[in-house]
Amino acid sequence: MTPGLLRWLIPLSAVPVLALLAYGFRVNPRDIPSPLVGRPASAFALQTLEGAPLALEAQRGKVVVLNFWASWCYPACYEEAPVLERNWRAYRDRGVVVIGVDIQDKLEAAQKFTRDFGLSFPNARDTTGKVSVDYGVYGVPETFFIDRRGRIRAKHVGAVTDEAFRLNVEKLLSETTG
């Protein structure tokens, strides 16, 4: 090896490493693509905070907004609770249902949360964590938009905004049932 080549080889070998780092540091580590988008939503049968049965299957034919939350999830869950309630009221007559799933929580705290925000859509408790794992939930809040055929079409991580709710729901409503 000639000394000239050697002189260039050392800085050149750093280029791919730097490129890899440049790519790695620009990617948000919290932004994890869900493998579930496009796949059928897992069925579940839970109980609401009031003890009534709540099954996803019963909502087939409707656009379902499935929201995972917890009363200790401050501030994101506190920010999105009024958004969910407001949009649920706006869309409930157009074949949209909002379902809340409370995870890793205490019943009393969860009941206080729904009372404080005056939530009128059904909220269930995932006491075993099985539904959370079935949906690949890694934090709260996470929201899944499920189409009329029962397929997960979008996943929203973090507090849902009016815009995100409307965009996703309108898109799924505009589709004809296949």
Binding site for other proteins (CB under 8 A): 1, 3, 6, 9-10, 13, 20, 32-36, 104, 128-130, 132-139
Asked if residue 144 lies in contact with residue 38, where contact means CB atoms within 8 angstroms, the answer is no
Bridge partner list, 134: none
The minimum distance between CB 13 and other proteins, in angstroms, equals 7
Cβ proximity to other proteins: between 104 and 161 the closer is: 104
Minimal distance, residue 116 CB to other proteins, in Å: 23
**Whole-number minimum distance, CB 61 to other proteins, in Å?**
25
Residue 17 or 93: the one with the smaller Cβ distance to other proteins is 17
d(CA 125, CA 139): 15
CB 31 within 8 A of CB 157: yes
Q: Residue 3 is which amino acid?
A: P
With respect to other proteins, which residue has the nearer C-beta, 87 or 132? 132
Closest contact distance (angstroms) between CB of 21 and other proteins is 12
How far apart CA 116 and CA 129 sit, in angstroms, is: 25
Of residues 56 and 169, the one with the C-beta less far from other proteins: 56
Measure the CA–CA gap between 2 and 34, rounded to whole angstroms: 50
